[in-house]
Amino acid sequence: MIRHLLSIRDLDPDGIEKILATAASLADVGSRQVKKYPTLRGRTIVNLFYESSTRTRLSFELAAKRLSADVLNFSASGSSVEKGESLKDTAQTIEAMGVDCIVVRHKSSGAPLRLSKWVSANVINAGDGMHEHPTQALLDLYTMRQHFPSFAGLRVAIVGDVRHSRVARSDVLALQMLGAEVTLVGPPTLMPPNASSWGVELTAEIEEVLPKIDVVYVLRIQLERMEAGFLPSLSEYSRLWGLDSRRAALLKDDALIMHPGPMNRGVEVSAEAAELPRSVITDQVANGIATRMALLYLMLGGEHSVEASASA
């Protein structure tokens, strides 16, 4: 298995399939009375979060604890970072404590890569700037796989602020690697400037796309985008591209609604659309735990089987 997961490009289709299959065999731990495997007993994982996060941080913490690892949580606020400590010094401090794996979220694209050069621990990118969020892509694939047996030819539309989205970058790469067809939908100002080299379709017409796809993946719209001039107003965005129940009714019967969270209800997705039976947004959150357990298990836990470890 790979030493670091910095980009979804660090994996090949077999590696992705192995993580998804391992996640499926680990998933039932959440419903058992004793929710733990002993696999990572004695190993230490630090969550190094320089940017705010709810679900990603909690999900990594729970995943590590369910594998019996010791977990340290570090957030930049309240730490020596506020006194001016650099990423390198923080990394070396953590390394000196004998940590085995660093899960890092940072506002700068490339920070996890730099970190991986300074430490001997395994490094997992939990979201870096506008670059990538590979574990989000893995849990998204896992969630799609629960409904569709194959990614080959699966049609996925990613709607909204693709330009600033690390989730979109990782999802597009992962989906393409597995043979899915991706369409990016939204205002031209929120499409990536180099989108023509992404090998995707591009359109501003959401209502033309919805009837043709298997998954609509809605991205969060940040207020800052409006302030920076990318959007005239949030209400106009919502009127032209927001997913409400009227638009959701254009989808095929078995099509899914997904969103990485946190949602701005009433902006990119209406409260009703987010709660339709075809919405798998809370499944994504739940699946994040099994997917991250699988990744930690394969990166840190060695090769013995899940079954052997479960009965240990």
Active-site entry in 43, 106, 131, 133? 133
Q: Per-residue string for binding with ligand NCD, 74-113, x by CB under 6 A? A: ----------------------------------------
Tell which one of 4, 131, 133, 155 touches ligand NCD (CB under 6 A): 133
* Interface with ligand NCD, residue 56, by CB under 6 A: yes
* Interface with ligand NCD, residue 220, by CB under 6 A: yes
| Size of the residue set binding ligand NCD (CB under 6 A) | 10
Indicate the residue among 21 and 263 with the shorter CB distance to ligand NCD.
Answer: 263
- In this structure, what token pair is assigned to residue 233? 């107003």
Active-site entry in 18, 36, 55, 65? 55
Indicate the residue among 145 and 166 with the shorter CB distance to ligand NCD.
Answer: 166
Our answer to whether residue 133 is catalytic in this structure is: yes
Indicate the residue among 231 and 306 with the shorter CB distance to ligand NCD.
Answer: 231
Count CB-CB contacts under 10 A for residue 68: 15
Strands 181-185 and 201-203: what pairing? parallel
Tell which one of 167, 206, 280, 295 touches ligand NCD (CB under 6 A): 167
User: If you count them, how many residues does the chain have?
Assistant: 312
The tally of CA atoms less than 13 A away on the side-chain side of residue 42 is 2
* Interface with ligand NCD, residue 225, by CB under 6 A: no
* Interface with ligand NCD, residue 265, by CB under 6 A: no
Tell which one of 26, 122, 127, 247 touches ligand NCD (CB under 6 A): 127
Indicate the residue among 51 and 100 with the shorter CB distance to ligand NCD.
Answer: 51
Active-site entry in 66, 105, 131, 145? 105
* Interface with ligand NCD, residue 134, by CB under 6 A: no
Our answer to whether residue 155 is catalytic in this structure is: no
The residue number whose beta carbon is nearest to ligand NCD equals 220
Tell which one of 7, 136, 287, 291 touches ligand NCD (CB under 6 A): 136
Q: How buried is residue 36: exposed, middle or buried, by Cβ count under 10 Å (0-12/13-18/19+)?
A: middle
Our answer to whether residue 105 is catalytic in this structure is: yes
- Rounded to a whole number of angstroms, the minimum distance from the CB of residue 309 to ligand NCD is 28
- Rounded to a whole number of angstroms, the minimum distance from the CB of residue 213 to ligand NCD is 21
* Interface with ligand NCD, residue 260, by CB under 6 A: yes
Kindly list the catalytic residues: 55-56, 83, 105, 133
**Residues in touch with ligand NCD (CB under 6 A):** 55-56, 127, 133, 136, 166-167, 220, 260-261
